[in-house]
Amino acid sequence: MKKRYLFLLVFALLFGAKAIAQEWEQSYEYYTTENEITHMLDAYETSDGNIVVSCCHFFKSGYGDFYSPHPALRKFSSNGEELAYNEFFKPAYRAANPYTFEHDGQLFALMAYNPDHDFSYFNYVLNYDNPPDDAILGLYKLDEQLNITECFEHHIKIDTFEVQNSSWQLNPNEQCGTLCLFSPLVDDRVIVGAYFKAYSHDVDHPRGPDSLFMFRMTFEGELIDQIGYETVSNGGGGAVEHLLGRCHLVKTDSGYLMYYPGRFNTTNASVQGQVLYFDNNLNLLKTKQFSHTDVSDYRTFSKMSVARSRHGTTYLSTQIEREYGDEQADVRIYDYDDNIADPSPSVAALQCRVRSTDSYDCPARQRSISTTNNDELYFCYTLNYGYFFNEDSWIMIERLDANLDTVSTLFYDLDKGNINSLAYSIISTHDGGTLLVFSSKNLDNTTQHWTTVTKFPAEAFLGIDEAHDNGLKVSIAYPNPGKDVLNIRTGLKDARVEVYDVNGRLVHRQAITENVTGIDAVDWAEGVYVWKVVSNGKEVETGKWIK
């Protein structure tokens, strides 16, 4: 009987420890050797507290890694129970993850389908009797199980020239006509969005002009406005590769602002980015440039997302290469003063914050900024991701005030051992909580992956104990394993770091005065060390570091 009680006690302790790791978490394990996988990317909260996560569904390919993506949705209750899952496959087309909206209690998904021109895919357009020569901009009404009950589709002609040059056969779809949908928002019960229309090119004919189309669509699928603006040619790559974030458009009192990476209506190659000012009818009023604060030569804005502040400015997060071709990149967040009445040709950066390691860092790939009701914001990014996604990375969640000053800095990752994780999106929920969507890879078995959505309660960001209760850390050590330098990263002030060898002897003690404290470990013997961060006389974080 005593053994039985002991077992129940141990079980309760283990279960309890997991139960308070966060409010809830849904993580799906998959292997890249499987025939099909689903990857969660972004989240949306409905008025009843349910969570709808937009996904890409992939089919295994006999050539390369996966077949072209298809849109999918996964729905959870407010307490994390999976309620529904559905895919939205179209023969001969490919599509990215959907955008979701709620209107009069009804869920809608907005998607853009493009003809699939990869000859190695089962969905290749020439495998069909009537191959498409257009893209589809579609709005779909969904029921409780995410089934389509009504669809409103607009067929948009694009150049579907098929590239024949052998050097481009690996992924010819990128060289064909593409409709790239991004940035929709709901304003006054109407969807306002944009899509980027890219024309094809071959070896002898570089890509022609790209076009940006702004549109307004009712929830009955009617396009009540659609205006196209011709852009300049950016050469072979165009601007498509920079439109990886989902948030480039914000609403203002006078209309809309589109933050456009690179050149829009200028041939000046040194332009880093432009703000496009539209009125409420999507007429382009003016353009202004925006740029990095401390970089004199041309640096692109990539993996970019924006959010409107409550004091009439725009927060923008981006990734920037340190030097061209060095496979290292930093994360930045700006606060831009983009008042349309300002006659200056450029918007002013009121604040800028830089976050970096010695490796490849990036903001959350889909949505990295989430504002709150009290003019604060959450900023999410991944540190030490590695250019080839092969380093021990950390997902960072910073709570910032309106001036981008740090209120708290927290770290999160799956408890799966030696893994590499990448943040995809962060959103604030109606109850003050936070949703994080991310992916992870096992560095010891690179075919093993996880796709995860996690809900943190509001109190998780109030203090050290609350963070620990919800599976978050306040300090990390990197690189791990390392060589001659041990870095301790933390947002804590009035703290110190202590390092001990395996025999418990103190080998180093240092005050923490910056976000990153570098420790010279050149003279240390190879082996395992224990580091501790102490604040107000209390040990607040500890871990092992291997030299």
Distance CA 457, CA 435 (A): 9
pLDDT at 411: 95
pLDDT at 264: 80
Among 125-129, 147-151, 189-193, 364-368, whose mean pLDDT is lowest? 125-129
Burial call 252-281: b when 16+ CB within 10 Å, e when fewer: beebbbbbbbbbbeeeeeebbbbbbbbeee
pLDDT at 221: 96
Q: Does a structural domain hold residue 521?
A: yes
Q: Label residue 69 by pLDDT band (50, 70, 90).
A: confident
pLDDT at 177: 66
Distance CA 547, CA 544 (A): 10
pLDDT at 244: 60
Is the per-residue pLDDT at 451 higher than 80? yes
CB-based burial label for 44 (10 Å; 0-12, 13-18, 19+): buried
How many folded domains does the chain comprise?
A: 1
Distance CA 540, CA 221 (A): 54
Is the per-residue pLDDT at 233 higher than 70? no
Give 391 or 320, the one with higher predicted confidence.
320
Q: Residue with structure tokens 């990476």? A: 261
pLDDT at 200: 52
Q: Does a structural domain hold residue 500?
A: yes
Q: Does a structural domain hold residue 432?
A: no
Instruction: Express each pLDDT in 268-291 by its tens digit.
Output: 878 889 999 999 999 999 999 999
Is the per-residue pLDDT at 160 higher than 90? no
Distance CA 120, CA 170 (A): 8
Which CATH number characterizes residue 540's domain?
Answer: 2.60.40.1220
Distance CA 334, CA 356 (A): 15
Structure tokens at 509: 């003690």
Residue range 95-111: average pLDDT? Answer: 95
CB 116 within 8 Å of CB 93: yes
Residue range 487-498: average pLDDT? Answer: 92
Tell me the percentage of the chain whose pLDDT exceeds 70: 86
Distance CA 421, CA 407 (A): 24
Give 173 or 185, the one with higher predicted confidence.
185
Instruction: Express each pLDDT in 351-392 by its tens digit.
Output: 999 998 878 899 999 999 999 988 899 999 999 887 677 778
Q: DSSP 3-state assignment of 130? A: coil
Rounded alpha-carbon distances, angstroms, from residue 189 to 149, 185, 218, 316: 20, 10, 7, 26
Measure CA 438 to chain center.
8
Residue range 251-268: average pLDDT? Answer: 88
Instruction: Express each pLDDT in 408-449 by its tens digit.
Output: 899 998 888 888 999 999 999 999 999 999 999 999 998 999
pLDDT at 296: 73
Structure tokens at 286: 């003016």
pLDDT at 374: 86
Structure tokens at 51: 């969570």
Q: Does a structural domain hold residue 526?
A: yes
Q: Does a structural domain hold residue 142?
A: no
CB 506 within 8 Å of CB 500: yes
Residue range 311-321: average pLDDT? Answer: 94
Neighbours of 426 (CB within 10 A): 27
SS3 content of the chain, % helix, strand, coil (to 5): 5, 50, 45
* Pairing mode, strands 434-442 and 485-490: unpaired
Tell me the percentage of the chain whose pLDDT exceeds 90: 61
Distance CA 453, CA 431 (A): 17
Give 4 or 363, the one with higher predicted confidence.
363
Among 129-143, 229-243, 264-278, whose mean pLDDT is lowest? 229-243
pLDDT at 206: 38
Distance CA 104, CA 186 (A): 12
Q: Which domain holds residue 512?
A: 479-547
Please provide the average confidence, as pLDDT, over all residues in the chain.
85
Q: Does a structural domain hold residue 201?
A: no
CB 460 within 8 Å of CB 434: yes
Is the per-residue pLDDT at 202 higher than 60? no
Q: Residue with structure tokens 């006690």? A: 9
Q: Residue with structure tokens 């914000």? A: 250
Among 19-28, 177-186, 287-296, whose mean pLDDT is lowest? 19-28
Structure tokens at 8: 């129940």
pLDDT at 61: 65
Residue range 119-125: average pLDDT? Answer: 80
Q: Does a structural domain hold residue 523?
A: yes
Is the per-residue pLDDT at 208 higher than 80? no
Q: Smallest Cα–Cα separation from 87: which of 103, 72, 109, 70?
A: 72
pLDDT at 375: 86
Is the per-residue pLDDT at 252 higher than 70? yes
Q: Does a structural domain hold residue 184?
A: no
Structure tokens at 250: 């914000």
